[in-house]
Amino acid sequence: MGSPTSSRLATTLCGVALKNPVLAASGTFAYAVEFETLVDLRAVGGIVVKGLSREPMDGNKPPRIWEAESGMINAIGLQNIGARAFVKDKLPGIRKIGTPVFANVFGYAVEDYEEVIRILDGEEGLAGYELNVSCPNTKHGGIFFSNDPSLLGGVVGRVRALTKRPVIVKLSPNVAKIEPLAQAAAEAGADAISLVNTFVSLAVDARARRPRIGNNFGGLSGPAIKPIALRLVYEAAKAVKIPLVGLGGIATGEDAAEFLVAGATAVEVGTATFWDPASPVRIARELDDFCRAEKIERVGELTGSLRLN
């Protein structure tokens, strides 16, 4: 059986050493410390904590989750304890984990992102940041940061100026073309790009004639989105030279290998942790099995090895 800490899986992301390229995704792994009785956190390649805002947020009204065919729709509403409470209540435990932890950061104006980074950047225990840009910019009429290269470049550039830690930008798939957004993030100073976030979706109760989600629309994740996510990762990898972190429906080691082959340096596992909290460790073990079977000596050999017909 493969090992999540096999030497063949060791890699780096933005200069951060990882035991393996399988990270736990933001939004599905809480603040990491809540999982320490369920998962060997030292065997996870890295952890991206639940999104943090400058002030606490209660999230959307229920119901907030619906199980779809081959996936899940959620509209949690970015519920979180806020950056200051995170520093006070969660970061002390995170420092003891021994695994790189990235803070996911979001906001509704550039100043929101800046304030969260200021709160976090003086604290020890974080390997870097992942910017969730799938939010509407309330100062620009609700245009989503993730849909406008200029707005995206603006927020990335402002954050880049505030920290020396690696900055990963998490892109939305709800765009016409991913390449201009990936390029804007890279040109503004992003160290890496993660993609994809969830797809805007609608679940309908035909008998009640109403949406099944309290917020009406939600984000679709899970195996159903994997083929589209793979295509977007491939397209983004061809458009930029910085590393990519792929996510979207990864549930097995071979799924992870597919994203690496498409151009990713690392992957994140999200929805799979709902039915298997230890899935990032299992997937890393399965990825090690895959590499051994394929006679891959270093997992990095897989990255970008896709050959189109």
The model's pLDDT over 174-185, given as tens digits with 9 standing for 90+, comes to: 999 999 999 999
pLDDT score at 273 = 96
- Best CA proximity match to 248, nearest among 180, 196, 182: 196
pLDDT digit string, tens, across residues 284-301 = 999 999 999 999 999 999
Checking if the pLDDT of 69 tops 70, the result is: yes
pLDDT of residue 241 exceeding 90, the answer is yes
* Mean pLDDT score, 236-264: 98
CATH code of the domain made up of 7-59+77-199+222-302:
3.20.20.70
Please give the pLDDT value at position 118.
98
Measured CA angle at 129 (ends 124, 135), to 5 deg: 140
Give the 3-state DSSP-derived string for the chain, with helices as H, strands as E and coil as C. Answer: CCCCCCHHHCEEECCEEECCCEEECCCCCCCCHHHCCCCCHHHCCEEECCCECCCCECCCCCCCEEEECCEEEECCCCCECCHHHHHHHHHHHHCCCCCCEEEEECCCCHHHHHHHHHHHHCCCCCCEEEEECCCEEHHHCCEEHHHCHHHHHHHHHHHHCCCCCCEEEECCCCCCCCHHHHHHHHHCCCCEEEECCCEEEECEECCCCEECCCCCEEEEECHHHHHHHHHHHHHHHHHCCCCEEECCCCCCHHHHHHHHHHCCCEEEECHHHHCCCCHHHHHHHHHHHHHHHCCCCCHHHHCCCCCCC
pLDDT band at 136 (very low <50, low <70, confident <90, very high): confident
Q: How confident is the model at residue 71 (pLDDT cuts 50, 70, 90)?
A: very high
pLDDT above 80: residue 270: yes
Can you give the pTM of this predicted structure? 0.96
Residues 198-210: tens digit of each pLDDT: 999 999 999 999 9
**Tokens encoding 240:** 């930029």
Note the pLDDT of residue 29. Answer: 96
* Token pair 């990335």: residue: 156
Does pLDDT of 258 surpass 70?
yes
Q: Average pLDDT for residues 142-157, to the nearest whole number? A: 92
How many CB atoms sit inside 10 A of residue 203's CB? Answer: 17
pLDDT attached to residue 137: 67
The residues annotated with a catalytic role in the active site are 135
User: Which pLDDT score is estimated for 139?
Assistant: 78
Percent of the chain with pLDDT over 90: 96
User: If pLDDT is split at 50, 70 and 90, which confidence band does 140 have?
Assistant: confident
Please check the confidence at residue 135 and state whether its pLDDT lies above 90: no
Average pLDDT of the chain? 96
Domain boundaries, the chain: 7-59+77-199+222-302
Q: Is the pLDDT of residue 123 over 90?
A: yes
Rounded to whole angstroms, the Cα distance separating 263 from 236 reads 8
pLDDT tens for each residue of 217-234 = 999 999 999 999 999 999
pLDDT of 191 over the 80 cut: yes
Find the mean pLDDT for residues 109-114. 96
What's the pLDDT at 141?
72
